[in-house]
Homo-oligomer: A and B are copies of this chain.
Amino acid sequence: VIDFRSDNTHGASPEILEAVMRAAAGTSTSYAGDPITARVRQRCRDLFETDLEIFPVVTGTAGNALAIATLTPPFGGVFCHEDAHILRDELGAAEFFSGGARLIPIPGNDGKLTPDALSAAIRDLALADPAMPACLSLTNATEAGTVYSPAHLTSLGNVARSEMLGIHMDGARFANAVAATGASPADLTWRAGVDLLSFGATKNGALAAELLIVFRPALFLKSLAPRWHRSGHRLSKTRFISAQFEAYLTGDLWLRNARHANAAAQRLAEGVAGIEGVEIIREVEANVVFLRLTEAIAERLQKAEILCFDWPIFGENAYRFVTAFDTRDDEIDQLLAILR
Contact = CB atoms under 8 A, between A and B. Distances in A.
A29 to B, nearest CB: 7
Given A8-B30, A74-B92, A227-B75, A24 B207 contact: yes
A238 to B, nearest CB: 9
Interface stretch (A47-55, A82-90, A174-182, A279-287): A82-90
A87 B230 CA distance: 11
A197 to B, nearest CB: 16
Interface residues of A, number: 73
A272 B189 CA distance: 56
Interface in A97-113: 98-103
A128 interface: yes
Interface-centre pick from A61, A87, A92 (highest chain B CB count, 10 A): A92
Contact of A102 (B29, B64, B95, B235): B95
Interface in A195-232: 202-203, 207-208, 223, 226-227, 229-232
Nearest to A99: B99
Contacts of A58: 58, 208, 235
A328 to B, nearest CB: 12
A17 interface: yes
Contact of A229 (B20, B90, B101, B227): B90
Nearest to A103: B102
Given A24-B207, A208-B58, A235-B208, A100 B89 contact: no
Interface stretch (A37-45, A129-137, A260-268, A290-298): A129-137
Nearest to A230: B91
B92 A75 contact: yes
Contact of A91 (B129, B203, B240, B313): B129
Interface string A19-39: 011011111111000000000
A231 B93 contact: yes
Contacts of A102: 92, 95, 103
A27 B9 contact: yes
A117 to B, nearest CB: 17
Contacts of A150: none
B88 A92 contact: no
A277 interface: no
A276 to B, nearest CB: 28
Contacts of A129: 88-91, 229
A9 B21 contact: no
B6 A93 contact: no
5 contacts: A1-B27, A21-B21, A87-B130, A202-B236, A207-B237
Interface of A: 1, 3, 5-6, 8-12, 17, 20-21, 23-30, 57-59, 61-66, 73-75, 87-93, 95-96, 98-103, 127-132, 202-203, 207-208, 223, 226-227, 229-237, 240-241, 312-313
The 8 closest A-B pairs by CB, nearest first: A62-B232, A95-B100, A8-B236, A75-B226, A3-B27, A11-B24, A61-B232, A91-B230
Given A59-B236, A90-B129, 8 more contacts: A5-B30, A11-B28, A17-B21, A58-B235, A89-B129, A91-B131, A93-B231, A127-B313
